[in-house]
Amino acid sequence: MALRVFPSSYRCDCGHESHFSDSTIRELEQKSRQKRRLLLDSAEEEHGIEFELGRAAVVICPRLGRCKITGIA
């Protein structure tokens, strides 16, 4: 179960954490109200966060695939 680590980080089911600035997350939440958006981290095993309908919905893991964000830590 992927989690949002409030306010601007995300934890994948594989244990990887992606950290972003608060302003980046707010901007993607706003932009995703009209169109699905993808935010990639800069880690060696790059993970993506998919935003849809104004919120982060999925962590895209290179090993596990799409992991739905189901809660807040």
Answer whether 41's CB lies under 8 Å from 18's CB.
yes
Helix (H, G, I), strand (E, B) or coil at 27: helix
Per-residue pLDDT of the chain in tens (73 residues, 90 and over written 9) = 899 998 999 999 999 999 999 999 999 999 999 999 999 999 888 999 999 999 999 999 999 999 999 999 8
Q: Is the dihedral of CA 10, 71, 6, 35 positive or negative?
A: positive
Distances (CA, A) of 10 to 34, 73: 22, 9
> What's residue 1's pLDDT?
84
> What's residue 32's pLDDT?
98
